[in-house]
Amino acid sequence: MTNLETPPASTLTWMHDGTERLTGLLATVDDAELDAPSLLPGWSRRHVLAHIEANARALGRLLHWARTGEETPMYPSREARDAEIEQDAGLSPRELRALVHDSAAELSSDLQTFPDERWASKIEARGRAIPASTIPWMRAVELWVHMADLDCGVTFADFPADLVDALLADVAETLTERGQDPALVLRPEDREREWLAGAGTASAVAVTGRASGLAAWVTGRGDSGARPVEEGTALPTLDAWR
């Protein structure tokens, strides 16, 4: 999803549906439950929510960059990002919930008014140049993956099927660019296609499971849903996705 001149309708749908799903999910979680650990080491649910709302503002800065040409990176530095998340995680439940809602609404408004002729504008994110048209995809991934990290009932199995496929393709592309070794063949048992991650197929390790389980594994969310096709073969070590 790195060479698009306009955002596909699907990415906007995934983003909006993810926002609605998160809103509904938060309505079922009481304030005390926000203090519970998330599935991310060292982060409470508060930290995950603080990251989600900070991400919306960070992507808004990328939209500003693409719209105006003024360089406004997602974050000034990794340290600044971490400090922002830590600070917002300490807000009151009411304030944190409001930030999650308001930041998502502001990003949605910015996307709706973004000029079509600027979607191909190049910006930089995570060390690479990308067109602005990938921003809705970046937001959709953040919403859905971190909803699963909240450990509040949403899992990768609840993701839209086409989003799971797009996520597998995206991670496979990233791992290939980073020289994943050994190469992987992601072969979902509930799909009629497969994805190659890494260079070459001669020594590639084929890994199967349901597509949602493979998506969880390749994004670093546990290996319970993935297994090698060849018995007696260990699951390979993955290069970092992010």
Structural domain tally of the chain?
Answer: 2
Residue 210 burial (10 A CB sphere; 0-12, 13-18, 19+): middle
Give the rounded distance of the alpha carbon of 22 from its chain centre: 14
| Domain end among 134, 154, 174 | 154
Domain annotation covers residue 3: no
pLDDT at 5: 63
pLDDT for res 171: 95
**Residue after which a domain boundary falls, among 154, 176, 202:** 154
Q: Can you give the pLDDT at residue 127?
A: 84
Whole-number Å distance between alpha carbons of 39 and 45 = 8
What pLDDT score was predicted for residue 2? 56
- Collapsing DSSP states into helix, strand and coil, what is residue 72? coil
- Per-residue model confidence (pLDDT) at position 4: 59
Distance in Å from the first CA to the final CA of the chain: 15
- Which residues have a Cβ under 8 Å from the Cβ of 142 and sit 6 or more positions away? 51, 52, 55
Tell me whether residue 237 is in a domain: no
Tokens, residue 164: 């799971």
- Domain containing 214 equals 161-228
pLDDT of residue 242: 76
Among 111, 137, 154, which residue terminates a domain? Answer: 154
CATH, residue 200? 3.30.1050.20
Does 129 lie in the same domain as 224?
no
Identify the pLDDT of residue 55. Answer: 97
Which regions in the chain score pLDDT beneath 50? none
Least Cα distance to 115 among 66, 75, 59 occurs for 66
Q: Is residue 50 part of a domain?
A: yes
Say yes or no: 94 and 169 in one domain.
Answer: no
Residue 1: predicted pLDDT: 56
